[in-house]
Structure 1
């Protein structure tokens, strides 16, 4: 008996269950030497991309630049063990940095605590299989938010291009004071920023213009060289700008606004702080910090999951493999939890770096290990060099990174396909300039209202065959009962003489007690008017509910044609409940 019971008791620890929770056990035994070369190349390429981006995104989050690097290395290690996509890279992104700033206002201790709490929420969602909640955020809402984020983030870097100080972070005030302070712009920063923008744009265009491979070896080498330079453009540009700024500073020319002092060395491994101290020395308790986070504790985990899973699904489809969405949630959650112990702020999947990873030919998630090692080496040895990075060059990197998020094509497509979708898009886009959280919440609310309106006002198609045939073009649930009742009264019972009706229900897959109660009253009204209401095309589960309700004078037929024959008297009506 013990042997019979053991399989069910040990099922959670079976080999297949272990592989589900630890995907590395599935691909590591099949790892080939040929994969190693491609993973090293991809990890190196992404590593040289993530370092300048992490420094730049820390600026967006309002944090010291080293916090961008603190947030950039844990994902590579964790995702190698728990991730189900070979392409996805986890780390700081423009959107998560903006959301983090909107919640914590650039306070490092709170940003680290926010990472822990977001990770706990995400891991709990994964264990409870709550990934379906993301389905309630519609595509127009996502696009409205990303377009607004691109404008907000991009314009927020104009002050660094101009080299002006004292500009508020609130978007509308930021716009006003940026233009107001243009006379204070520093020539060196403007020249550096515009030059970096031009170079990055040119390299991006060159990379996108590369045609198909040519047989000539020199042409292939030229293509590879251009692709390599264009892929590493951020790192190369930041290094060149830093060297030039260092030369100018060495000769006593202080013409650039530079990053300045950064903490050197690896971050200490310690629990995130559960209290904070304000500038005037007041201690803020853990409970007060939670109250300050407010809706951000729900918004940031959801947006992080949405961004990462959308990226994972896109590249899984492109490269012909499948991902486990709930396992992806777990990987992001654990990354944020462990990241909080090394002073990281919330991270998610990066579309740009994932694209670089895929294009470089990565074979397994192990490529992320080398990427993380490069970030750690940068923290250990290169932090003094980051002192001389011109802020204008980082601003150019950010602007070029977020520019593709401003998707005009999606707006045009919504106009052509379904113009009503422009309503939640516009609400999300405009409200996000006030507060990012309000924009997303308002967009979801408008999308929900549109969805509920369609449920409450189903389209009813009417045709006259001597008897009125009313076809419900969508489902029938309790919000639609009053609309259906008023429609039938207006077209059949309040005309002279009253008309019989065949109600075509072949689109109705479920029905509830509220609908039954309303139809019971309608049948009584038809009986009083000496006309008939016949139902056609009832699916078996729906018919079962009707029969259980034992409605007086209930008639049904398998098809509209049969129902019309019943009304014309050519066959006996089918009765249920007389």
Structure 2
């Protein structure tokens, strides 16, 4: 197994020359090119495992890529165009042995909102997303992803699963002319149910049943053992193999069935139809488009049309891939470099735009297959990419006969696990307020996905800011009020703290001194200092004292620099109480 990849070396303080030498060192080069960490140690046993994993994932990605292109509203070949660049780029720049980059259900759904079935828009979106993601990596802005909370992610993915799954019912039923907008899509689908084509429905349900059965068989296998008889181990291996490549198996069988009927002139199924044969041309992404009527759409106009997609798609792509990389790094006991992952994804999208790809990210399902088949290094992705290239070079004419119902079944089975109905009960049990960002994201994502994500982030930040502005205060009465701050003290909280101290100590029937326990306060700003100055003045005017305890060195230094009149501080609450009741000896 690939050993943990090293983090970027920290540059010690020193001269500019030392820093330049450190940046040009072999260690720094390995940080930017992680392949240098594992390639010199590559072993023949790793090659065997990487080949097995790469072939297995390749048989999974080909049918999925064709199906996800349908979700994105693009011709099916664009799914394959998007599926092979990631393997080559990530092998050189990625820090996870398990992650596979390519088209996914969520990214395909997001693209469908912004590209409006136009490949030119899709390819330019890929290039711009790559530039944005790479820039974020170079500027080390990955921390921005931390502001998207778990409830927001779960709300979005659950809504996406429903949207994608329901959107495939039209292909499962053989319906035509169904709206793209979700609510209109629901209306059109039920309105046109009488027009459903029986052969498509029959084939689609058969494919669904087969996929579900194979999935269940794989999950029920349980752990194997070398003590089992040879024939039992062989049967288990056969079941595991068929269930792992179940998508390819179902699509191949459905295509053979469709081809058999087409040869004899029976057009029973709705098929994929004409596809572009061969490898995509390697060319710069288009920065303008000429419509069939001769109208030229400029770069600026395309960017304006893409709008919020230039924010939503890069961020969601990074979030999805890094979450997957972290999960499998933890599971398989190695480490990843978050910013290097951003760089690898961004570079994959930039290079992908030169071969007509639409935006890609890490795939949880294919990464799981990669890990389960024992991949040892990112070289397994190269094998997967070669399989995709071979499919483009030799199998495109066969894809003409793929029934859309079979691809719909593949997509529905792929997105069903994304809908986590148990998360509602978990949030309710652990922290009920977290249901607010979840529901805001979930419900608004059915209208416009960007509105759902923005609403969820805004609600989450609002809750976060409320906690900052309303810190928990523990108040104890010892004749002298002892007020303990349970969290930090920043300017949004000062008005709340001032009002509480006035009401409890200065405007009560009898004035009282206050001991302010600041052991949890790690920093203060100028607004806090200014408000404390006013508080100290108010206490002095009423003949009372405000004593600070538990001040950290950094906070105390700021308060002393501010030269607050009447500032009194001691080490502990007990010392403060003694100082108020007896003869004070303040620090």
The alignment status of 1:93 with 2:93, answered yes or no, reads: no
Partner of 1:434: 447
Corresponding residue to 1:120 among 131, 152, 168: 131
Alignment of 1:82-161 (within 5 A): 82-161=93-172
**Cα distance, 1:409 vs structure 2:** 2.2
Structure 2 runs not aligned, ≥5 long: 1-14
Distance 1:567 1:134 in 2: 48
Q: For residue 574 of structure 1, what is the aligned residue in structure 2?
A: 586
Structure 2 residue aligned with 1:481: 494
Q: Which residue does the alignment assign to 2:460? A: 447
- 1:519 is displaced (CA, Å) by 1.4
TM-score if structure 1 supplies the norm length?
0.97
Contact 1:116 1:337 in 2 (8 A): yes
Pairing 1:81–2:92 present: yes
- Structure-2 change in CA distance of 1:239 and 1:428 (3 Å): same
Superposed displacement of residue 5, structure 1 = 9.0
| Partner residue in 1 for 2:521 | 508
Distance between the aligned counterparts of 2:96 and 2:297, measured in 1?
A: 40
Structure 1 residue 274 displacement after superposition? 0.6
Match status 1:415 vs 2:432: no
Cα distance per residue 1:246-274 (max 9 Å; x no partner): 11222222221110110100000000111
Question: Match for 2:389 among 355, 361, 376?
Answer: 376
CA contact (8 A) 1:200 1:233 kept: yes
Find the partner of 1:460 among 461, 464, 473: 473
Equivalent runs, 1:327-338 vs 2, <5 Å: 327-338=340-351
Which residue of the partner structure matches residue 8 of structure 2?
A: none
Structure 1: 5+ residue stretches without partners: none
CA separation of 1:7 and 1:544: change in aligned 2, threshold 3 A: closer
In 2: Cα distance, 1:437 partner to 1:107 partner:
20
Q: Against the structure 1 CA distance between its residues 416 and 385, is the aligned structure 2 distance closer, same or farther, given a 3 Å change threshold?
A: same
Does the 8 Å CA contact 1:432/1:440 hold for their aligned counterparts?
yes
Partner of 1:249: 262
Q: Which residue in the other structure is 1:496 paired with?
A: 509
Counterpart of 2:6 in structure 1 is none
Q: 1:260 to 1:477 in 2, by over 3 A?
A: same
- Shift of residue 8, structure 1, vs aligned partner: 4.9
- Cα separation, 2, equivalents of 1:541 and 1:86: 43
Look up the match of 1:537. 550
**Matched residue count:** 571
- Pairing 1:309-328 to 2, within 5 Å after superposition: 309-328=322-341
- Offset, 1:12: 2.6
TM superposition shift of 1:477: 0.3
Q: Does 1:165 align with 2:165?
A: no
Secondary structure of residue in 2 paired with 1:388: coil
Structure 1 Cα separation of the partners of residues 365 and 340 of structure 2: 22
Partner of 1:186: 197
**TM, length-normalised to structure 2:** 0.95
CA apart distance, 1:375: 0.5
- Partners of 1:572 and 1:229 lie apart in 2 by 81
> Partner residue of 2:5?
none
Name the structure 1 match of 2:64.
53
Partner secondary structure for residue 400 of structure 2: helix
Question: Is 2:303 the counterpart of 1:290?
Answer: yes
Contact 1:555 1:573 in 2 (8 A): no
CA contact (8 A) 1:145 1:439 kept: yes
